[in-house]
Each structure stands twice: as C-alpha cells, then as structure tokens.
Chain A
Amino acid sequence: MRVIPLAISAIATIAVVLLLNTKYVLPAALGKLLAPQSGIWQNAEPTLTQETKDLHFSQLKGKTEVYFDERMVPHIFADNETDAIFVQGYLHAKDRLWQMDLQVKAAAGRVSEVIGEKGLEHDREFRRLGMVYGAENSLKQMEADPQIKAICDAYTAGINAYISSLTEAQLPLEYKLIGYEPELWSNFKTALFLKYMSYDLAAHEADFEMTNAKSFFSKEDFNLLYPASQDSLDPIVPRGTKFEKPTLLPIAPSSADSLYFNSVNVASSAKPDPSNGSNNWAVSGARTTTGSPILCNDPHLGLNLPSLWYEIQISTPDYNAYGVSFPGAPCVIIGFNDSCAFGFTNGGRDVRDYYEIEFKDASRKQYRFNGEWKNTEFRYEEIKIEGKPAFIDTVAYTLFGPVMFDPSFGAKRGTNKKNYAVRWKAHDPSNELRIFYQLDRAKNYADYQQAVLNLHTPGQNVIFACKNGDIAIRTQGEWPAKWKGQGDFVMPGIDSSYMWQGMIADSETPYQYNPERGFVSSANQKPVDSTYPYYLGREYPVYRGLIINRMLDTMQMIDVAKMKKMQTDNFNVLAQIAMPVLLKNIDEELLNPTGKKYAEMLRGWDLRNDPQSTGATVFELVWLKMRSLIFDDEFANAPQPIQLPFESTLVDGLLKDSAWKFIDNIKTPEKETFKQIFTQAIINAVPDLEETSTKGKLKWAAYKDTRVTHLAKLNEFSSLHLPIGGGTNNINAAKETHGPSWRMIVSLTEKTEAWGIYPGGQSGNPGSKYYNDFVTDWALGKYYRLWVMTKDEKTNKRIQCKMNFSKS
C-alpha cells in the first residue's frame, strides 16, 4: 500500500471537508451552504409556481382551504375558528419563521444565544426591564380566558406543525447563513411577541433625561424648554369638549417640591424609536361621495425586511376578516370585516416610571419601604452565550418592579451607582389578544366598545367605522391617574407616597362617536386640551395631527382617490408655520453668493418634502444648524443623557418672541438677535449643502435616503435608496429607516372596497420574488386593491396556488 500518498490524500480530504463544513477558517461553511440539495440553493424559490398541496394534521377538526393570490396573500376558508388560526400559524411559519424566532429572542433577551457576547448588553437590559416577567404575567391572563387559550393553542400548534415538518434543506436562508436552527413555538412566545410590541409602543418616557434637565436648568428655563402644553396642539377630542369631574384625584406627596426635583445623573434606558407613531382617521358618510364612511390608517414603525406585517384573509362561518397580522400572534390586527373597519395609532402616554431604591446593604436582600426593611425577591436570569459560558444576572424585584439599573448594570450612566426600579404598565397582567379577537368579529359600535376595553398596554387611539354609518375613536388603554408632573422625573422609592394611586376609569376615557364635524382622527398628539382632569405628560408630536384635521375640515366630496393623496401627502406643516419668521430674518448682506443661492432656494421652496425637492433639503440642514446655534450653548455643560426641547417648543418660542431667551449665545458678551442666528445658520449649512450637492444628493429623497433594512442588517437583503418623499412632520412620515409600515384605506360601501400596501412582501425568504415586491410601489405611493375573496371565486385567475388542510 502506498501509505504515504494515501495518508496525505486522506488527510487532505478530511481537511477540505472540515474547512468547507465549518466557519472556523472561512467566514462561512461554503460547502454546506452551496451544496445544491441542502444548502442555500434550496431557498431559491421557482418564480413560477402553480401547485396544490394537501396537508393532514391530527390537531385539525375539519377542512380548510387556502388560496394564494398573485401577491401571495393567503385567503383562508375554514370550517371553524381554531382550524383557521392553526392555518394562520402554519402560514406565518412557512413565510416568516426566522423573523418570528428572532423577534421573540430579542424580546426575551436571548440574542446572545445567536450572536454571542455582543448581544449581552441588549439581553441584560431586556431581562432587567422585566420583559420575560411581563410576558409571564400576560400569559397567565391569556390562558385563563378559554377562547383566547384555544386560539393561542391552535396558533402554536400550527407553527409547530410547520417547524416539525422542516428538513435541513427547507430551513429559512438566514438559519443556514448564520448557522443555527429554529426552536418550537409556544403560547409563551406569543405573549413575548406581544410584549415586544409593548416595548415598541409603551415605552414613551424620558425620565432620566428630564431629571438631568431639571437638575441643570433653573425652574423658569426648564418650564420654557419643556412646557406641558403646545400652542399648535389640535387634540384628538376637539378643544372645548366638556369633561366630567374626575372620579379619582391623585394627590401629590407633600415632599414633591423639596425631594422630587433633586438632582441625579443617570443613564437612559433602552428606547424604541422615538418616532413610532401613526396616523388614522375616519370620515362619515355625510362627507363622502358614496355616502358611506371611509377609514384610513398608517402605523409608522421601523421599516424592516421581512416586514412586521403579513397580509391575510381569514374566513370562517362566524366571521370574515381581512387585513394585516403580526407573524408571532394570531388574528387580524389592523383591517376590516364584512361590517366594519378598525385601526390604531399609538397613545404615547408615559406608563413607565423609575424609582430610586435604597438597599440596606450591598447584598440587596432588603430595601427601605414605608419606614421598614422589606425583603427583595431575586430573579436569576441565565443568559446563554454562543461560544461562551452562560452569564447569570441576578435581578432584584421590589414592590415597584425590577431594579433595572444598579451598580452591576448601568448601561451608559457613568459613575452613578444608585439603584433604580422600573414600574411599567406592561408588567401588569393583561389579555390584549382579546381586542383583536373581538374586533375581527365586530358587527357594530357596541361590539367595538366591548372589544376596546380589553386593551390595557400599549394604549392606542382605536379608530372605527361601520357600514351603518358610525365612526368613532377612543384613546384606549389602562392609564395611571397621575398628579401633575408625576413620573416626568425619577421618583423616590423609599415609601408608597410616589407610587401610582390608581388607574383612570374606562368611563373617563376620551372618545369621539359620530362627532358633528363628520370625522375622527389621531396622529399621536395629546388626546385632549388642558381641561381634561388628569395629567397626561409633556411630550406629544403635534404637527401631523394639525395638518390632518385641517385637511379633513375643508375637504368635501371625499373619495378614495382623495384619501390616497392625503395619506401620501408630503406637505411640511412645521415649515409652513416657521417659515414666515425664518425668511424675515435673513441678513442678505452677510451671505456670500453661495449662501445667497441657498437662501433663494429656501424662499422658493413650496413647503413640500417631495422626492425631487431641493428646498426641503436646504430647509432641513439650515434648521438643524439653527437648532444647534440656539441650544448648544445652553446645553454644553448639561449632564448626560439629556434631551433637546421638542421641535414644537422651538417653533412656538420663535413665533411668540423674536427675542426668545435661548436665541442669545450665552458664551458671547453681546446679545445676538434672531436675524444674526438664522443668517449664521445658513452660513453654517453651506459647506454641508455644497458637499451634499457635489454628491448629487441635494434632492430630498436622495438626501433622506429611506431604506427598508433586513433584520440582520444585511444590505444585500435590504431595499435601499428608495425614491420616497415625506418625513417627520408630514402625513407621509417616511423617514430614513422608519415610516408608514402599512397604509390602508377602507371604504365601507355595501361591498367593502379597500386599498392597502406595506413596504415588504409576503415571503420572508430573500430568495423569493415575493420577498420585497411591494417596496417600489410603496415608495411611489401606489396602493393595491385588497381582494376580499368569496367562496364562489375559487376558480379566479388571480389564484396562484392552493393548500388544503384537513384532519389526518
């Protein structure tokens, strides 16, 4: 035997196989990945599929047929409710498994299991925020409700039926690329997913930032910089509406003035995107061409691929609902049925507060409360880390909630060694799925009223329109009744005096039902004016609400075309309000020819953030420079983290007083005028504008560069450089990585006519032609006519493929 060549050859073979089957040397296991029968090629879906699949599962009771139309939207026709939801789970998993798995891992603080130690900070923060604790509490409530438990069980069973059927070759692409495998689903994961939505939508607070601001600025300056009211507010419930006397009068503790406003230097906690918000409105039949109401909704969320949304029609003998669902939860979330339509915008009230805890000693076993030492409960969070031993985080739980920040975990709060417990409404037991369960079946306003009461957290402005002509909106949620200023800053946690004293009664929830003005609307603005008897906090965006109400006030003969135009409108109302003051304050003599050119572009701008607009880019850059000139001097030595005043405060300040206190640069002896400041802002913006211009990015869409990003941040799987206008204060709130995540218009005529689009595609597979096929149309402001399929349309040419589910 030629031993030596044999040995060399055998070793070489084994080495090459190992090299290609692992990631130790190569960045990817190339052999495993590229093997055509099991690797990534298996994720290259044929673009032409026309097939019928028959599937049998023991959990099913009857027969379900699913028809996929030309956009791969499934139309589910089931004998009964649980079968329908089983199939919904199966389809969510079929199209979006990796995304569902990842979102739940993120919610549970388990990212380190996949990406290793770099996920640890996120995981600790989420565990310490009590995400898992909150999900456990919600799950108990959900499972105590027999109907909700039944649909959760069916949903979980459907997902797991799909996961169990998967072969290695059928694993979603991302599992192959990253190199791990999906886990089975559970009802707990559904609860975790919903908690993740609470994290996204009910974490509206700036307690640490505001505490720092309060400790740094004088009381007078603080009130000017962070006022509790906004001049341009047009609330959801119109000004002048009478409110009843409050049933609960929260009392501020006597020490509030002396203790509460003390100084601390602390870190900020994990925050969802501050621009999570939305628009919704419904117009009554009296204002439309058809005589029937029209409902519109566009929730603004992070723009990701695969999308947060999955379009679906669910039809059973009891109900027929169409709309978008969350891969991760059963039911249609935003949509309509044969009688009515429903949608949401975020309530945005502060339901997350922090309390400073005093432990007896470093063991954290006891903390001071109402003059005695109370025992702490510990929760041991085991965080598994890919390639490393697990990390055990010991989190102390108090009467307030988990101690999120302590000397062992401070995020970025520097040297502060204090302990802060978080009281978050999302920790309380609740059963949010029930609102969707009931809305999907709602037939009238009474059903809607019943349904919405189930929504506790995240509180939402729930909008409704019905074929009988009713329109309504309720600022629904379980909101703590707060005394003025409660929870704006970090509170003392040594006794019960600063705790929440109760919840605002449902009967006191601001709402609108068939108002005289013929429309209802919301855009995350403060829901009521200052006559409402409860304190609702400081920070609400005002401008989208203002322009929506202004447009609806004057619009007559409303039809779907007008609604489409309005929902994708790029008018910048902040600029409209601010511009007269700005343009009056340009000192042309100080500008060089380039500066003059840009000043001229600003003057000529039509106040629209259209994709081709150059004026919009000039305004944006000059505005940022101006804001910095106004505030940088005052904020230079402020403790971090801190938050700049809201844009509306700046606009209101400039409008009211051209010598607004903060215009002056306190670092110079002279007193600057606004003319000097604004002219300087233009001068300061010129280099940036010139650079932007050289790069060919002066047009607004190019400058803003909106994109829809893959969840693992892979550019190759993202949709980049989208030609879309709009922005923060536009109805079309399309920002860089954030914007209208689903646009929907429902005309409640006898046969419902509905339009919708989301920036994604039904398939979560980057190798599918249905992966991001809606994105371009979305950017262009186009809509798809939503097809509410009926049983007698089973042979319609639009149907691409079919799945039959039945009992095995």
Chain B
Amino acid sequence: MKFFISIILIALTSFAVCLYLPWWSITIVALVVAIIIPQKPLVSFFAGFIAVFLLWLILSFIISNANDHILAQKVSMLILKSSNPALLILITGFIGGIVAGLGALTGSFIRRPNY
C-alpha cells in the first residue's frame, strides 16, 4: 500500500512542481516522499522510478500523439539517428524514472538511520 501511495504522491507532486521549477526537481520530490514514507531502499527506488517513468511516458505520449508525432520523428532522427517516436517516448520515461528513482533511494537512506 505504502508503495502505491508513494508512487501516486511522487507522480502528482512531480507534475505540480515541474509547472514552476526545473525538471530535476523530480529528484527532490522523490527524495522527500521517500523520507516521509519510509520503505526499503530498493522499494523506494522503484516507487520513484515507476512514478516518474509513467508520468513522463504518459505526458510525452499525450503531447506527441496530439502532434501526430511530427516533432518526435524529427528529434528521434536527430538524437537517435532513427525515426522512432515510441523509442524517444520510452527514453523520456526512463530518464525521468532513473532521476526520480535515485532521489528516492537517497531519501530512503536518510530516513533509515538504524538497522
């Protein structure tokens, strides 16, 4: 249960915070949530990872879909050297996931002083 609450909290807060603050705020959001809702380090990591992975994946998919993937085709060609909007969306999610996951992991170590 804590796991799912963490995911939802990280995802929603990340979305809200990124309306105003730089993208890497997601790592601080995940860190704070991991402190508030203590879980095992690996579990915290996955909560952070899944939360922002899904958030960014869904956001970029919605945007790209409304755009008929015009931009994604060109940018994926530019960055990945192949026209592959799906892969670009996946990479977007993965980057967000890793950064948030690492933040959450760090948070979990702060919260759990004594084992």
Q: A residues within 8 Å of B by Cβ? A: 1-2, 5-6, 9-10, 12-13, 16-17, 20-21, 28, 30-32, 34-48, 173, 177, 714, 716-717, 766-769, 771
Whole-angstrom distance between the alpha carbons of A21 and B110 in the complex? 24
Is the beta-carbon distance between B102 and A716 smaller than 8 angstroms?
no
Please state if B78 and A41 are interface contacts (CB–CB under 8 Å).
Answer: no
Q: What are 10 inter-chain pairs, A to B, with CB distance below 8 A?
A: A2-B112, A5-B41, A20-B24, A36-B60, A38-B23, A42-B63, A44-B70, A44-B72, A46-B66, A768-B70
Chain B hits for A716, CB < 8 A? 74-75, 77-78
**Interchain CA distance A40-B114 in the complex, whole Å:** 43
Residue of A nearest to B114 (CB): A1
Question: Which residue of chain A is the closest to B78 with respect to CB atoms?
Answer: A716
Q: How far is the CB of B62 from chain A (nearest CB, A)?
A: 9
Asked if A767 contacts B92 (CB within 8 A), the reply is no
Map CB proximity to A onto B13-49 as digits: 1 under 8 Å, 0 otherwise: 0010011001110010001000000000100000000
Q: Looking at B59, B64, B71, which has the most chain A CB atoms within 10 Å of its CB?
A: B71
In the complex, the chain A residue whose C-beta lies closest to that of B113 is: A1
Give CA–CA (A604, B7) in the complex, Å. 73
Q: Are A40 and B98 in contact (CB-based, < 8 A)?
A: no
Which A residues touch B59, using CB under 8 A? 36-37, 41
Number of B interface residues at 8 Å Cβ cutoff, please give it: 42
CA distance A42 to B66 in the complex (A): 11
Contacts A2-B115, A6-B106, A34-B92 given; does A40 touch B67 at CB 8 Å = no
Chain B residues positioned under 8 Å from A46 (CB to CB): 66-67
Whether A17 and B71, one on each chain, are in contact in the complex, defined by CB atoms closer than 8 angstroms, is no
Complex Cα distance A35/B19, Å? 11
The interface centre, meaning the residue of A9, A32, A36 with most chain B CB atoms within 10 A of its CB, is A36
Contacting residues, chain B, for A714 (C-beta < 8 A) = 78
Q: How far in angstroms is the closest Cβ of chain B from A458?
A: 35
User: How far apart sit A93 and B48, CA to CA, in the bound complex (Å)?
Assistant: 39
Q: A6-B109, A34-B95 are in contact. Are A767 and B102 (CB under 8 A)?
A: no
CB pair B71–A41 under 8 Å, yes or no, is yes
Residues of B69-90 whose CB lies within 8 A of A: 70-72, 74-75, 77-79, 88
CA distance A484 to B88 in the complex (A): 64
Asked whether, in the complex, the Cβ of A13 is within 8 Å of the Cβ of B60, the reply is no
Known contacts A2-B109, A9-B106, A41-B63: A17-B77 contact under CB 8 Å: no
- Contact status B95-A41, CB under 8 Å: no
Q: Which residues of B contact A45 (CB under 8 A)?
A: 67, 71
Give, as a whole number of angstroms, the nearest-CB distance from A775 to chain B.
14
CB closest residue in chain A, given B85: A44
Inter-subunit contact A9/B102 (CB<8 Å) = yes
- Are the CB atoms of A47 and B24 closer together than 8 Å? no
Chain B residues in 8 Å Cβ range of A173:
71
Q: In the complex the two chains form, what is the Cα distance from A34 to B115 in whole Å?
A: 38
With A21-B24, A47-B67 as contacts: A16 and B99 at CB distance below 8 Å: yes
Chain A positions within 8 Å of B91 at CB level: 30, 34
Contacts of A5 in B (CB 8 A): 41, 109
Contacts of B102 in A (CB 8 A): 9, 12-13, 16
Q: Chain B at the A interface: mostly helix, strand, loop or mixed?
A: helix
What 9 A-B pairs are tightest by C-beta distance, nearest first? A767-B71, A35-B23, A44-B67, A6-B109, A36-B59, A44-B71, A13-B102, A46-B66, A34-B92
- The answer to whether B23 touches A41 (Cβ under 8 A) is no
In the complex, what distance in Å separates the CA atom of A47 from the CA atom of B19? 23
Q: Report the minimal beta-carbon distance from B106 to chain A, rounded to whole angstroms.
A: 4
**With a CB–CB cut-off of 8 A, which chain A residues contact B79?**
28, 30
Contacts of B70 in A (CB 8 A): 44, 47, 767-769, 771
Which residues on the B side are within 8 Å of A32 (C-beta)?
22-23
Given contacts A16-B99, A41-B63, list 10 more A-B pairs with CB under 8 A: A1-B110, A13-B106, A17-B24, A21-B22, A30-B91, A37-B19, A41-B60, A44-B63, A44-B67, A45-B67
Docked CA distance A109–B74 (Å): 30
CB of B105 closer than 8 Å to a CB of A: yes
User: A20 touching B115 by the CB < 8 A rule?
Assistant: no
Q: Which residue of B lies closest to A12 (CB)?
A: B102
A47 to B67, CA, bound (A): 5
Q: Which residues of A contact B77 (CB under 8 A)?
A: 716
User: A772 to chain B: closest CB distance in Å?
Assistant: 10
What distance in Å separates the Cβ of A533 from its nearest Cβ neighbour in chain B?
Answer: 56
> Is there an interface contact between A20 and B64, defined as CB atoms closer than 8 Å?
no
Alpha-carbon distance A174/B70, docked complex (angstroms): 15
CB contacts (< 8 Å) of B15 on chain A: these are 37
Instruction: Check A30–B95 contact: CB distance below 8 A.
Output: yes
When C-beta atoms are compared, the residue in chain A nearest to B94 turns out to be A34
In the complex, chain A residues whose CB is within 8 Å of the CB of B27: 13, 17
In contact, B99 and A17 (Cβ under 8 angstroms) = yes
A783 to chain B, nearest CB (A): 25
A47 partner, pick from B18, B60, B68, beta carbons under 8 A:
B68
Partner of A39, one of B19, B23, B114, B115: B23
Is A16 a contact of B23 with CB atoms below 8 Å? Answer: no
A40 lies within 8 A of B71 (CB): yes
- Whether B63 and A47, one on each chain, are in contact in the complex, defined by CB atoms closer than 8 angstroms, is no
Q: How far is the CB of B53 from chain A (nearest CB, A)?
A: 12
